[in-house]
Amino acid sequence: MYEREAKEIIENVNKTFKVLLVTGPRQVGKTTLLKSIMPKNMEYVSLDDEAYRTQAIESPKLFLKEHPWPLLIDEVQYAPNLFSYIKINVDNENKNGMYWLTGSQQFHLMKNVSESLAGRVGIINLNSFTYSEINKNIKNKILFNPEKLIPCDEINVNSLYEIIFKGGMPKLYSDKNISRELYFSGYLDTYIARDINDLTQIGDMDAFKKFIISVATRTGEQLNYSSIAEDSGVTVPTVKKWLSILVTIGLVYLLEPYMSSELKRVTHMPKIIFMDTGLAAYLAGWDSARELQLSSSSGHYLETFIISEIIKSYNARGIKPNLSYYRDKEKNEIDLIIYKNNTLYPFEIKKTANPTKEMIKNFDKLNNTSKKIGTGGIICLYEKLMHLDENNYIIPISSVINIDK
C-alpha cells in the first residue's frame, strides 16, 4: 500500500464539511485512497455500474433513499442531478462527513457543485503519485516553500529520469508485472477516450490521437495552437476545444504567463505541462528512460516534472499554488514564478550540475514591476543547496520535491 500525501487533508476536510469531493484524472488512486480510510459503516457505490448509474440519473431521490449516508459515490459526474438531492439531505442534518464523492470531469462537475453544494463541500484535487509517494517517504515531506529552502539528499540523475519516464500512475507500481506500454495504450483507448466522448463527440478518434500526441511532444513548451492543428489535421478551434478538455479531465495543466500592466511585450500564451510525465513520454514515443535523458527534449521533461511535482504536492494539501512563467517578445524567459505574499519568486529549471549566474540574467526583467522580488534561483542537478549570489540560490531538485532520509 502506497501512502498518499492527501490523506491528512482529506481527513481534515471530512471533519469540517458535510460533503467531501475528490477530483482528478482516471486511475490516479481516488477510490483506492478513500476506500482505505472510509468509516466502517460507509457504503460504497460506483456509478461506473450501469444499474446504479441509471437509477442515480433517473431516480436520484430513490437512489439516495436506498443508499443512505454515510455514502461514498464513485464517478459522481455521471449523475449531476444527485447534487440537489444531496443538498437537501445535508441541510436536514447537522453532521459532517455524510457524503464522499469522486469525479473525473472537473469543469462540469465543479459547475454543478458550485450551484448546489456551495459552503457544504470541501474539494481536493488528486493527481498521480509524487516522487515521495513512489519512494514511500511522505512522512519527511515538506511542502516546497520559496521563503524557506531546505537542504535534502542528492538524487541520482539516472534514477530521476527512470521516474520521469515511468510516471506516477499507481497501477504501474502496485502491479510489478504490468507492461508500461500496454497500460498506457489501454489508458488512452479506454479512459481518456471515454471521458472525452462524455464531454464532446470527437468523431474522428484518429485525429484526436494525433492531437494528444502532438500536445505531449510539446510538454514544457509554449502553446502554439496553429502548430498543433497542423500536426493533427484539424482546425485551430478544434485544438482549443480538445485542449480545454484535457485540462478539464486533469491530464494537462496550462502554466499561464505572468501578466502585468507594467511589463510590455510579454507573451500571452501559456506553457503546456503534462501532469504525468510517464503518459507524456509514452505518447511522444520514447522507448526508454535513457533515450529520453540523452535527448534534446530532456530539459523540457525535467521542467514538466518539477512544475507538476509542485502542483501535485500543493493539491495534496488543498492549496492552489499561484504559478506562472515569464517570456517576452525577445524570447527572454523565466521558467517558473511563484507568487506569494505580494512577492515574486523566480526560478530557472536546468538539466545541469554546473549552474552559473548567466542563467538568472532574466530575473532583472521583473524589476520593472511594482512587486517585491523574493528569493529565487536555479533548480538543477547540483548536489548541495548554496548561494549563487546574495539573493539567489543553487537549488538541488531534491530540495524542491523534498526527499530526505
Q: How distant, in Å, are the alpha carbons of 47, 105, 180, 189, 262 from that of 192?
A: 17, 11, 16, 6, 41
Average pLDDT over residues 21-32: 95
- pLDDT tens-digit map of 54-100: 999 999 999 999 999 999 999 998 899 999 999 999 999 999 999 99
* CATH 3.40.50.300 describes domain 7-125: yes
- pLDDT tens-digit map of 133-152: 999 888 878 889 999 999 88
* In the chain, where the domains are located: 7-125, 131-401
- pLDDT tens-digit map of 380-404: 999 999 999 999 999 999 999 876 5
- pLDDT tens-digit map of 103-115: 987 656 667 787 8
| Residue % of the chain over a pLDDT of 70 | 97
Average pLDDT over residues 4-32: 95
Is the pLDDT at 405 greater than 50? The verdict is no
In the structure, what pLDDT confidence band is assigned to residue 321 with cuts at 50, 70 and 90? Answer: very high
- pLDDT tens-digit map of 247-260: 988 999 999 999 88
